[in-house]
């Protein structure tokens, strides 16, 4: 797999393809980042973008992980001391999950977001950005939550972070698209170059196949989960053997295979008794998805296999959490 294929594997959107192709021609020493608000234990939403960071490291790029403590403070996630403790745990979990520690720069937002130059640029961005534009880039509020001024400043800071971290590429889930577009539209007016952006997919809700898997609503899988808890969640997941394109539902089991398992394992083995056809071995996601569609692979066997591989992926992070808490 060449650098461009690694960089764009499982990407939902590339802005723009031409810019990313240019980066892929000489990816060494190019800097790419994802920002995470330190708000708890890593879950599969975090790990989807972490998989992409691992791809980017394999392609030769330098990875920057922003542990956005100031953002978390603006979002009411606790005191700076509490947020910093969570950020330290998250950093350890990312390394345990597979990010190359020697080639990953972990940066706290407070290291630069409180400096005078950054603050003045933020005020300049506030002057040039309309309320409506900031609202469009603002993250969705939880049910019953009232919007505050901090919620509007939050996306402006995210847009500015891309410049201050001296990046060549910004990565985030598709839910970060509005912020990245704000960066591309508004930063040139401050005299800064806009950067290309790459967006990873959003995995559907585990139990319904609708919306998105979320740690705040519904069921998600995190590094806190025991093997038994993980198996219970996966076994109860929505996994129709065939998908009706008119029902607008996704198959989260297949999505987890596509975005989490196959990028990290060379092959996937479904263990079955001989009386049910024996083991199945897959080297590509498409083959497994086709067998589920045709009936060759039963949803129960797919779920059991998914639970086994996900457990192997999160086990090092689970162990690291135990060490940190002991």
Q: Each residue of 7-17: pLDDT tens digit?
A: 999 999 999 99
Higher pLDDT: 245 or 296? It is: 296
Q: Return the CATH fold of 3-200.
A: Rossmann fold (3.40.50)
Alpha-carbon distance of 135 to 137, in angstroms, equals 5
What residue ranges do the domains of the chain occupy?
Answer: 3-200, 227-325
Bridge-partner residues for 65, per DSSP?
34, 106
pLDDT reading at 130 higher than 70: yes
105: helix, coil or strand? strand
pLDDT reading at 244 higher than 60: yes
Please say whether the beta carbons of 248 and 240 come within 8 A.
no
Q: How confident is the model at residue 212 (pLDDT cuts 50, 70, 90)?
A: confident
Ligand-binding site membership of 176 (annotated): yes
Task: Specify the pLDDT at position 295.
Answer: 93
Tokens 């979002």 correspond to: 75
Average pLDDT, the chain: 93
Query: Within 13 A of 137's CA, how many CA atoms are on the CB side?
Result: 24
pLDDT reading at 30 higher than 70: yes
Please say whether the beta carbons of 182 and 133 come within 8 A.
yes
Q: How confident is the model at residue 140 (pLDDT cuts 50, 70, 90)?
A: confident
Ligand-binding site membership of 161 (annotated): yes
Within 8 A by CB and 6+ apart from 142, the residues are: 216
Task: Specify the pLDDT at position 168.
Answer: 98
Ligand-binding site membership of 154 (annotated): yes
Q: How confident is the model at residue 247 (pLDDT cuts 50, 70, 90)?
A: low
pLDDT reading at 326 higher than 90: no
Is 1.10.3720.10 the CATH classification of the domain at 227-325? no
Within 8 A by CB and 6+ apart from 275, the residues are: none
Task: Specify the pLDDT at position 52.
Answer: 97
Ligand-binding site membership of 158 (annotated): yes
């Amino acid at each position: 797999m060449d650098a461009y294929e690694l960089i764009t594997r499982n990407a939902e959107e590339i802005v723009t393809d031409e810019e990313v192709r240019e980066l892929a021609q000489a990816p060494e020493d190019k800097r790419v980042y994802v920002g995470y608000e330190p708000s708890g234990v890593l879950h599969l939403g975090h790990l989807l973008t972490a998989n992409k960071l691992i791809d980017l490291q394999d392609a030769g790029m330098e990875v920057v992980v922003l542990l956005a403590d100031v953002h978390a403070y603006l979002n009411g996630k606790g005191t700076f001391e509490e947020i910093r403790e969570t950020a330290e745990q998250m950093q350890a979990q990312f390394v345990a999950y597979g990010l190359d520690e020697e080639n990953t720069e972990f940066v706290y937002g407070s290291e630069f977001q409180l400096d005078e130059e950054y603050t003045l640029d933020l005020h300049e961005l506030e002057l040039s950005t309309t309320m409506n534009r900031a609202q469009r880039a603002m993250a969705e509020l939880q049910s019953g939550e009232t919007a505050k001024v901090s919620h509007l400043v939050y996306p402006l800071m995210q847009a500015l972070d891309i410049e201050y971290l001296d990046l060549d590429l910004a990565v985030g889930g598709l839910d970060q698209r509005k912020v990245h577009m704000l960066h591309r539209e508004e930063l040139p007016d401050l005299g800064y170059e806009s950067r290309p952006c790459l967006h990873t997919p959003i995995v559907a809700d585990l139990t319904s196949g609708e919306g998105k898997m979320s740690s705040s609503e519904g069921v998600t899988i995190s590094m806190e989960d025991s093997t038994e808890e993980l198996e219970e969640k996966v076994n109860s997941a929505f996994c129709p053997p065939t998908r009706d394109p008119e029902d607008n539902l996704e198959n989260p089991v297949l999505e987890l295979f596509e975005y989490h398992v196959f990028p990290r394992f060379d092959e996937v083995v479904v263990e079955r008794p001989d009386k049910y056809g024996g083991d199945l071995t897959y080297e590509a996601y498409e083959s497994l998805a086709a067998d589920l569609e045709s009936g060759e692979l039963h949803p129960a066997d797919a779920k059991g296999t998914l639970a086994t591989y996900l457990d192997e992926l999160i086990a090092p992070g689970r162990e690291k959490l135990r060490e940190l808490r002991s």
